[in-house]
């Protein structure tokens, strides 16, 4: 969704991509069940045409084949656009296709090379400490400083990988459709009266702190607390078990967006528990945070990336990521006057509407690209 929305934002800002190359996302054979993935063409919701490259679905042949075909497409595109004054090869992340191929292609045709860096996995932290993952991380260190422009979700990416290089931060955005739908929710925001309802939605894993959330909720003995969780992931069984033992916990599994909005509407607070201390998640930004903040419902969040710098005063910042720390924060927020919490949610929504729409983010990226191509 990030890629599609960014493309829409670029198009709206006047920079229409002339060719889009991608792949069909599928697990490698035999887990993916398909040995060979053929070439396809598809169309995004914004009417942009996308070429999906073919490949043998076997790691690491898969990655090398995708990289080689990407390089070939860039060379052919470079020939077709050889009379253009300015050309940009813009790649999303550096793992698939391997960034070496996109950077090489840009250099061979004399184009500027830009990269969106949305998630860099740290071996032994967010991915297993295997040789291939260590090699991928090493390649990031080598390649990132060599790109001409960088669009990142976290400042720490540039601080650690290319401290002298230019960049612009785009951690996500809000679509007009999301703004409209959450506007209805915010406009009909209800006070819950007896119960204090806590909601958390996302990938149910340790990185997103759902195990800590369960531990924290167990420390809140008051019967008036209610915890609602939706999503899927490795901790799903643990959450189901907790819901059976504690009737205050409700687990919804995977739900549609209208059901998500209903949870937001009736929530007193949303929890964004992306861990920052026990795991190295410095090179990520939780995209769910953008949706939370625009919902009009107040948010308790860990201080991921630039959260403390930019969203202080728009969310309740959690610095103690222990179960006790989260339980104390929930208790403190619950003790606030309901109207105070609603005003916090409204400030966050107003900020997101002003600065974080995909139209605004697209303009930011386009202006950055133009500054690199045509420095004043």
Q: Give one DSSP letter per residue of 261-307, joined into a string.
A: HHHHHH-SEEEE---SSSS--TT---THHHHHHHTTS-EEEE--TTH
Pick the CATH number of 2-173+358-373 from 3.30.70.920, 3.30.300.30, 3.40.50.2000, 3.50.50.60: 3.40.50.2000
pLDDT at 168 over 90: yes
pLDDT at 350 over 80: yes
**Count of C-beta atoms within a 10 Å radius of residue 199:** 24
For 113-131, what is the mean pLDDT? Answer: 93
For 160-180, what is the mean pLDDT? Answer: 94
Give whole-number Cα distances, 67 to 23, 119, 203, 241, 338, in Å. 11, 19, 29, 44, 54
Pick the CATH number of 176-355 from 3.40.50.1820, 3.40.50.300, 2.40.50.140, 3.40.50.2000: 3.40.50.2000
Is the separation of the CB atoms in 285 and 172 below 8 Å? yes
The pLDDT score that the predictor gives to residue 307 is 94
User: What confidence tier does 187 reach under pLDDT thresholds 50, 70, 90?
Assistant: low
Distance, in Å, from the CA atom of 177 to the CA atom of 101, rounded to the nearest integer, reads 36
DSSP calls for 182-249: HHHHHHT----TT-EEEEEEEE-STTTTHHHHHHHHHH---TTEEEEEEEESTTHHHHHHHHHH-TTE
Is the separation of the CB atoms in 144 and 94 below 8 Å? yes
Give whole-number Cα distances, 316 to 272, 273, 296, 370, in Å. 10, 12, 13, 37
For 324-334, what is the mean pLDDT? Answer: 98
Q: What digits encode the pLDDT tens for the residues 220-261?
A: 999 999 999 999 999 999 999 999 999 999 999 999 989 999
Mean pLDDT (the chain, rounded): 93
Q: Where would I find the H helices in 81-187?
A: 99-109, 131-143, 155-161, 176-187
Is the separation of the CB atoms in 202 and 229 below 8 Å? no
For 336-364, what is the mean pLDDT? Answer: 94
For 122-139, what is the mean pLDDT? Answer: 92
Is the separation of the CB atoms in 233 and 343 below 8 Å? no
User: What confidence tier does 306 reach under pLDDT thresholds 50, 70, 90?
Assistant: very high
For 330-336, what is the mean pLDDT? Answer: 96
The pLDDT score that the predictor gives to residue 376 is 75
The pLDDT score that the predictor gives to residue 185 is 65
Report DSSP state, residue 32.
T
The pLDDT score that the predictor gives to residue 93 is 94
The pLDDT score that the predictor gives to residue 126 is 85
| φ/ψ (deg, to 5) at 261 | -60, -35
For 160-188, what is the mean pLDDT? Answer: 87
User: What confidence tier does 145 reach under pLDDT thresholds 50, 70, 90?
Assistant: very high
In terms of Cα–Cα distance, which of 56, 65, 67 is closest to 29?
A: 56
User: What confidence tier does 186 reach under pLDDT thresholds 50, 70, 90?
Assistant: low
Note the Cα 229 to chain centre separation in Å. 19
The pLDDT score that the predictor gives to residue 119 is 87
The residues, any chain, with a CB within 8 Å of residue 43's CB and separated by 6 or more, are 49, 50
Distance, in Å, from the CA atom of 168 to the CA atom of 68, rounded to the nearest integer, reads 29
Is the separation of the CB atoms in 333 and 316 below 8 Å? yes
Is the separation of the CB atoms in 202 and 288 below 8 Å? yes
Report DSSP state, residue 357.
B
User: What confidence tier does 192 reach under pLDDT thresholds 50, 70, 90?
Assistant: low
Distance, in Å, from the CA atom of 121 to the CA atom of 218, rounded to the nearest integer, reads 31
For 277-281, what is the mean pLDDT? Answer: 85
Specify the domain boundaries for CATH 3.40.50.2000 within the chain: 2-173+358-373, 176-355
For 161-185, what is the mean pLDDT? Answer: 90
User: What confidence tier does 183 reach under pLDDT thresholds 50, 70, 90?
Assistant: confident
The pLDDT score that the predictor gives to residue 50 is 96
Considering the chain, what percentage of its residues have pLDDT values greater than 70? Answer: 97
Distance, in Å, from the CA atom of 270 to the CA atom of 301, rounded to the nearest integer, reads 8
Q: What digits encode the pLDDT tens for the residues 45-79?
A: 888 999 999 999 998 899 999 999 999 999 999 99
């Amino acid at each position: 969704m990030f890629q599609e929305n960014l493309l829409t934002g670029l198009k709206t800002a006047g920079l229409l991509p002339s060719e889009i190359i991608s792949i069909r996302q599928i697990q490698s054979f035999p887990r993916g069940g398909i040995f060979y993935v053929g070439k396809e063409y598809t169309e995004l919701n914004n009417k942009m045409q996308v070429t999906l490259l073919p490949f043998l679905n076997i790691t690491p042949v898969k990655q090398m084949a995708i990289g080689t075909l990407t390089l070939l497409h860039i060379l052919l595109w470079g020939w077709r656009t050889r009379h253009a004054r300015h050309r940009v090869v813009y790649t999303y992340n550096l793992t698939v296709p391997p960034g070496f191929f996109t950077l090489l292609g840009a250099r061979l045709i004399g184009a500027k090379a830009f990269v969106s860096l949305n998630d860099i996995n740290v071996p032994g932290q967010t991915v297993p400490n295997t040789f291939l993952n260590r090699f991928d991380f090493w390649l990031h260190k080598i390649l990132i400083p060599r790109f001409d422009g960088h669009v990142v979700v976290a400042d720490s990416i540039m601080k650690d990988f290319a401290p002298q290089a230019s960049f612009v931060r785009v951690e996500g955005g809000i679509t007009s459709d999301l703004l409209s739908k959450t506007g209805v929710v915010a406009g009909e925001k209800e006070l819950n009266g007896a119960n204090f309802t806590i909601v958390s939605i996302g990938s149910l894993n340790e990185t997103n702190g759902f195990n800590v959330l369960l531990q924290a909720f167990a420390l809140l003995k008051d019967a008036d607390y209610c915890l609602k969780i939706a999503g899927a992931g490795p901790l799903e069984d643990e959450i189901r078990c907790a819901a059976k033992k504690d009737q205050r916990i409700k687990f919804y599994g995977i739900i549609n967006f209208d059901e998500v909005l209903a949870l937001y509407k009736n929530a007193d607070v949303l929890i964004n528990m992306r861990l920052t201390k026990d795991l190295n998640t410095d090179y990520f930004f939780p995209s769910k945070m953008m949706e939370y903040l625009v919902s009009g419902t107040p948010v308790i969040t860990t201080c991921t990336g630039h959260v403390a710098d930019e969203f202080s005063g728009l969310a309740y910042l959690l610095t103690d990521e222990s179960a006790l720390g989260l339980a104390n924060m929930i208790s403190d927020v619950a003790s606030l006057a309901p109207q105070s919490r609603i005003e916090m949610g409204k400030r966050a929504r107003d900020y997101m509407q002003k600065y974080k729409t995909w139209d605004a983010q697209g303009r930011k990226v386009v202006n950055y690209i133009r500054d690199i191509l045509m420095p004043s």
